[in-house]
Amino acid sequence: MKRILVTGGLGFIGSMFIRISLRERPELHIVNLDAITYAGNPANCAEVEGDTRYTFVKGDICNPSDLNLAIGSGVDAAVNFAAETHVDRSILDPAAFLRTDIFGNHTLLEACRKLGIGRFLQVSTDEVYGDISQGESVESDPVRPRSPYSASKAAADLQTLAYWHTYGTPVLITRGSNTYGPHQYLEKLVPLFITNLLDDEPVPIYGDGLQKRDWLHVEDHARGILHVLENGRCGEIYNLGGNNILTNLDVTRRLVSACGRSIETHVKHVADRQGHDRRYCLNVGKARQLGWGPRISFEEGLQQTVEWYKENESWWRPLKSQEFADYYNRQYAQRWNRSS
| Residues marked as catalytic | 126-127, 149
Confirm or reject binding of residue 211 to ligand TYD (CB under 6 A).
Answer: yes
Residue of the chain from 19, 153, 213, 266 that contacts ligand TYD (CB under 6 A): 213
Confirm or reject binding of residue 156 to ligand TYD (CB under 6 A).
Answer: no
Rounded distance between C-alpha atoms, residue 193 and residue 328, angstroms: 12
Question: What SS3 state is found at 210?
Answer: coil
Q: Scanning residues 270 to 309, which ones bind ligand TYD (CB under 6 A)?
A: 273
Confirm or reject binding of residue 129 to ligand TYD (CB under 6 A).
Answer: no
Strand-pairing partners, residue 173, are 122, 237
Residue of the chain from 33, 205, 259, 306 that contacts ligand TYD (CB under 6 A): 205
Q: Scanning residues 72 to 101, which ones bind ligand TYD (CB under 6 A)?
A: 87
Question: What SS3 state is found at 54?
Answer: strand
Rounded distance between C-alpha atoms, residue 267 and residue 246, angstroms: 17
Neighbours of 281 (CB within 10 A): 20
Binding part of the chain for ligand TYD, among 93-101, 199-207, 214-222, 255-263 by CB under 6 A, reads 199-207
Confirm or reject binding of residue 206 to ligand TYD (CB under 6 A).
Answer: yes
Residue of the chain from 39, 108, 189, 259 that contacts ligand TYD (CB under 6 A): 189
Total interface residues for ligand TYD by CB under 6 A: 12
Q: Toward ligand TYD, which CB reaches closer, 3 or 213?
A: 213
Question: What SS3 state is found at 194?
Answer: helix
| Residue from 183, 189, 211, 187 nearest 309 by CA | 183
Q: Toward ligand TYD, which CB reaches closer, 113 or 279?
A: 279
CB of residue 304 vs ligand TYD: minimum separation in angstroms? 18
Rounded distance between C-alpha atoms, residue 120 and residue 299, angstroms: 34
Burial 182-218 (b: 16+ CB within 10 A, else e): bbbbbbbbbbbbbbbbbeeeebbbbbebebbbbbbbb
| Residue from 38, 298, 328 nearest 204 by CA | 328
| Residue from 276, 211, 280, 217 nearest 249 by CA | 211
Binding part of the chain for ligand TYD, among 91-99, 206-214, 302-310, 312-320 by CB under 6 A, reads 206-214
Which amino acid, residue 90? S
Q: Toward ligand TYD, which CB reaches closer, 114 or 273?
A: 273
Q: Toward ligand TYD, which CB reaches closer, 3 or 86?
A: 86
CB of residue 147 vs ligand TYD: minimum separation in angstroms? 8
CB of residue 193 vs ligand TYD: minimum separation in angstroms? 7
Residue of the chain from 30, 79, 155, 192 that contacts ligand TYD (CB under 6 A): 192
Are 249 and 207 contacting, i.e. CB atoms less than 8 angstroms apart? no
Residue of the chain from 44, 169, 248, 305 that contacts ligand TYD (CB under 6 A): 248
Rounded distance between C-alpha atoms, residue 62 and residue 53, angstroms: 25
Binding part of the chain for ligand TYD, among 10-18, 38-46, 202-210, 253-261 by CB under 6 A, reads 202-210
List contacts with ligand TYD (CB under 6 A): 87, 178, 188-189, 192, 204-206, 211, 213, 248, 273
